[in-house]
A and B are shown apart, each in its own frame.
Chain A
Amino acid sequence: MAAEPIRFTIDDVEITALEGQSIIEACDAAGIYIPRLCHHPELEPSGNCRVCTCKVNGRNSATCVTPAAHGMSIENNTKELNDDRRMIIEMLFVEGNHPCPYCVASGNCELQALGYRLGMQAPKEVYQWPDRGIDATHPDIYLDHDRCILCSRCIRASRMEDGKTVFGFSGRGITMRLNIDATGGLGETQMAAIDKAARVCPVACIVIKRDSYRVPNGQRRFDLAPIGSDIEARRKQVKS
């Protein structure tokens, strides 16, 4: 006997999910965008950033780690939730150094793109101006720790996709930092430029050397289409 289809509503739109899908995965497939930072469709979810938090049956839940269930009623695109998301983005901006005007990721940066999407004009919080330094010891990759937003994508990619343990976290709370499994810098690790971990950073913390600014202004990823519009395009296809 076939399992009952999982049906739930998000912002009053009914969605059908597959068994085992998280809410965000089901919504992505249906063309409904839930803002996110740490979630990556090719990696296991981690629930780090909380940007994808929605009200599920009236309670806040990170939708990247919440399984879709039959009968759920979800609020996503509301002022309250988007205000919370914008505050998270603002706090990430001030906790690190994110100089969009000259950053190598500008135009391709998910943090910047979310700031635009959520209407962030300028951070209201006090800049922390960290000085965590750059690790440029690897011949092909450098780490700019001041850009890190602790999303853990690189940790998950290194462990689960690359079969390595190049990255991990050290410390907790405000003192949490991205760490590597070598004392002499990234150049001493097994990291390679072709690794998945080198390709999933949403900001400009992990950057391929000598590859910056090659895409002209106006042709960068988020110059062409705002973040989330690729997912929302699926909704239009579903409708038609």
Chain B
Amino acid sequence: MSDIQTTRAARKIVIDPVTRVEGHGKVTIKLNEAGDVEQARFHIVEFRGFERFIQGRMYWEVPVIVQRLCGICPVSHHLCAAKAMDVVAGVDEVTPTADKMRRLMHHGQILQSNAVNVFHLASPDLLLGFDAPVATRNIVGVIEAFPEVGKWAIFIRKFGQQVIEATGGRRIHPRLCIPGGVNQNLSVDHRDSLLKDIDQVIKWCEAALELHKSFVASHRDLYATFASFPSSYMSLVGPDGGMDLYDGTLKAITADGKPIFEGVHADHYRDVIIEEVRSWSYMKFPHIRSLGRDDGWYRVGPLAELNCCAFIGTPIAQTARQEFMTLGAGGLVHATLAYHWARIVNMIHCAEIIRELLHDDDLQGTDLVLTGDRRPEGMALIEAPRGTLLHHYTVDEHDQVTGANLIVSTTNNNEAMNRSVTKVAIDYLTGKEITEALLNHVEVAIRAYDPCLSCATHALGDMPLIVTLEDADGAVIATRVKQ
């Protein structure tokens, strides 16, 4: 339920909690005496502390422990931690069966997680309108108005979860990876079961893209300008510059597409990225070291992945990317709402990769685990559903973790999300009477990034969004709370 409290004398709006995002955050918007927006901030108010309480645990426990950060994207943490612990276990390259099992699980995870954002979280805004009545602006309202979308929402997500279950034993918090490999291959029964549905899933993803494009065609100005600004981008790319969501090297580009760095391996991330802590949020602010605090911020996630890669190695997604890039008229695509378009392209890519892998006999291989000489440190990168994810661990001679650093996808987007919130507040709230529908515009901007706030702060407890509007003196004008 939303709850708007307005005090005429005070001038601060609080949206608390921000809804239809994964995690617990709030927005505060400060107005000056003229009623203009002076500052808008997206606060992450939960704290998890995983980096601390895995210290002392055995290193092979970490891929299983850290995935408890999140119920939406546990697979990403499971895989990224496993890749880091491969390094600790002295294994530079796992067996083909292990590599492909992990890739299969990873693409199933991105498919199901992106489906949650595209259909369950974002589609009510895009299909029903930003200012549609709050009682119907939800997935149930979407299913009533667009029954086909409801079917896609349920079955595409279900398929992604089935891929996770087939590879890791269960749909949420699976167990597949051990340092140096995996604990099982893909059974023929599971393979055949997934093969039966994969072509239909690809068709549904393509249909979802067509529906999204029809929304774009009818809202061209809104799409191009809403919460938008030029920015730098960062993502993993494969050795040939193509999209690779599981492994590769870091690439960052400026707003006009020029490289800032590329070919950066995980163990050199500190050469290019530095993290900053600010007092008003539990989420860190990473930025590109060479560009500094003010200019070094960037965006990650599906939009960045499509902007950074030279091509996509699967045919349907590649065609979709080429059409997507025309939005940028020869340059990069900067529209914040284009995250959704890019997210659907990624879903197509993931489904195509899954289909390729299901036809690969390596998945039924029996060479599952390798061993090597123990190392004291391991770092790894992966493109999680929301963008680049980094895990970094140090391990002592007794196999106990002594240090951990996680830079999660949502953290990478921290500054960008704050800028989008500020832009929407300025564009839509200045001098106006604050209504629920207007405040929803702020949430629409946040949802484009599909933030996962529990991951971003590594937090325990409930996860609601809060928006606050306050004056220059910090007095609260309005607070909106959603549970």
Q: Do A and B come from one complex?
A: yes
Interface residues in B51-108 by Cβ distance below 8 A to A read 56-58, 60-61, 64-65, 68, 89
Can you list, as one digit per residue, whether each of B160-194 has a CB less than 8 Å from chain A (1) or not (0)? 00000000111001111011000110000000000
Interface residues in A188-240 by Cβ distance below 8 A to B read 207, 209-210, 212-219
A137–B398 CB distance below 8 A = yes
Whole-angstrom CA separation of A137 from B397 in the bound complex = 9
Known: A213-B60, A217-B168. A102 touches B183 (CB 8 A): no
For A215, the closest partner residue in chain B by CB is: B183
A131 to chain B, nearest CB (A): 10
Interface of A is mostly: loop
- Is A134 an interface residue, CB under 8 A from the partner? yes
- Is A101 an interface residue, CB under 8 A from the partner? yes
Whole-angstrom CA separation of A49 from B264 in the bound complex = 56
A214–B399 CB distance below 8 A = no
- Is B483 an interface residue, CB under 8 A from the partner? no
B399–A209 CB distance below 8 A = yes
- Is B430 an interface residue, CB under 8 A from the partner? no
Query: Which of A101, A136, A216 interacts with B58 by CB under 8 Å?
Result: A136
A101–B175 CB distance below 8 A = no
CB contacts (< 8 Å) of B64 on chain A: these are: 102, 213
Whole-angstrom CA separation of A104 from B57 in the bound complex = 11
CB contacts (< 8 Å) of A214 on chain B: these are: 178, 183, 369
Whole-angstrom CA separation of A142 from B65 in the bound complex = 18
B60–A210 CB distance below 8 A = yes
Chain A interface: which size bin? 10 to 19
Query: Which of B61, B175, B178, B398 interacts with A217 by CB under 8 Å?
Result: B175
- Is B225 an interface residue, CB under 8 A from the partner? no
Interface of B is mostly: loop
CB contacts (< 8 Å) of B281 on chain A: these are: none
Can you list, as one digit per residue, whether each of A78-118 has a CB less than 8 Å from chain B (1) or not (0)? 00000000000000000000000110100000000000000
Known: A216-B175, A218-B169. A136 touches B398 (CB 8 A): yes
CB contacts (< 8 Å) of B173 on chain A: these are: 101
Chain B interface: which size bin? 20 to 34
B175–A213 CB distance below 8 A = yes
- Is B400 an interface residue, CB under 8 A from the partner? yes
A102–B168 CB distance below 8 A = no
B429 to chain A, nearest CB (A): 43
A217–B56 CB distance below 8 A = no
Whole-angstrom CA separation of A133 from B57 in the bound complex = 10
B159 to chain A, nearest CB (A): 20
Query: Which of B56, B178, B184 interacts with A134 by CB under 8 Å?
Result: B56
CB contacts (< 8 Å) of B175 on chain A: these are: 213, 216-217
For B89, the closest partner residue in chain A by CB is: A210
Query: Which of B56, B61, B179, B184 interacts with A102 by CB under 8 Å?
Result: B61
CB contacts (< 8 Å) of A142 on chain B: these are: 58, 398-399
Whole-angstrom CA separation of A213 from B184 in the bound complex = 11
For B371, the closest partner residue in chain A by CB is: A210
Query: Which of A101, A213, A219 interacts with B178 by CB under 8 Å?
Result: A213
B369 to chain A, nearest CB (A): 8
CB contacts (< 8 Å) of A217 on chain B: these are: 168-170, 174-175
CB contacts (< 8 Å) of B60 on chain A: these are: 210, 212-213
B397 to chain A, nearest CB (A): 9
Query: Which of B176, B184, B400 interacts with A136 by CB under 8 Å?
Result: B400
For B170, the closest partner residue in chain A by CB is: A217
Known: A217-B168, A217-B170. A212 touches B398 (CB 8 A): no
Whole-angstrom CA separation of A54 from B64 in the bound complex = 39
CB contacts (< 8 Å) of A207 on chain B: these are: 58
B126 to chain A, nearest CB (A): 36
CB contacts (< 8 Å) of B65 on chain A: these are: 102
A212–B178 CB distance below 8 A = yes
A144 to chain B, nearest CB (A): 9
B184–A216 CB distance below 8 A = yes
For A223, the closest partner residue in chain B by CB is: B169
Whole-angstrom CA separation of A142 from B57 in the bound complex = 11
B61–A104 CB distance below 8 A = yes
Whole-angstrom CA separation of A14 from B173 in the bound complex = 46
Whole-angstrom CA separation of A214 from B369 in the bound complex = 10
For B369, the closest partner residue in chain A by CB is: A214
CB contacts (< 8 Å) of B89 on chain A: these are: 210
A222 to chain B, nearest CB (A): 14
Whole-angstrom CA separation of A76 from B406 in the bound complex = 51
CB contacts (< 8 Å) of B174 on chain A: these are: 217
Whole-angstrom CA separation of A207 from B58 in the bound complex = 11
For A187, the closest partner residue in chain B by CB is: B398
Whole-angstrom CA separation of A203 from B233 in the bound complex = 48
For B182, the closest partner residue in chain A by CB is: A216
For A133, the closest partner residue in chain B by CB is: B56
For B65, the closest partner residue in chain A by CB is: A102
Q: Which of B68, B174, B398 has the most CB of A within 10 A?
A: B398
CB contacts (< 8 Å) of B56 on chain A: these are: 133-134
Can you list, as one digit per residue, whether each of B423-437 has a CB less than 8 Å from chain A (1) or not (0)? 000000000000000
B169–A216 CB distance below 8 A = yes
Whole-angstrom CA separation of A31 from B118 in the bound complex = 55
CB contacts (< 8 Å) of B400 on chain A: these are: 134, 136
CB contacts (< 8 Å) of A101 on chain B: these are: 68, 173
A136–B399 CB distance below 8 A = yes
For A131, the closest partner residue in chain B by CB is: B56
Can you list, as one digit per residue, whether each of B268-310 has a CB less than 8 Å from chain A (1) or not (0)? 0000000000000000000000000000000000000000000
CB contacts (< 8 Å) of A213 on chain B: these are: 60, 64, 175, 178, 183
13 residue pairs bridging A and B, Cβ less than 8 Å apart: A101-B68, A134-B56, A134-B58, A136-B398, A142-B58, A142-B398, A209-B58, A212-B178, A213-B175, A214-B369, A216-B168, A217-B170, A218-B169
9 closest Cβ contacts across the A-B interface? A217-B169, A136-B398, A216-B184, A102-B64, A102-B65, A216-B183, A218-B169, A216-B169, A213-B178
Q: A104-B61, A212-B178 are in contact. List 12 more A-B contacts (CB 8 A).
A: A102-B65, A133-B56, A134-B400, A136-B58, A137-B398, A209-B399, A210-B89, A210-B179, A210-B399, A213-B60, A216-B169, A217-B170
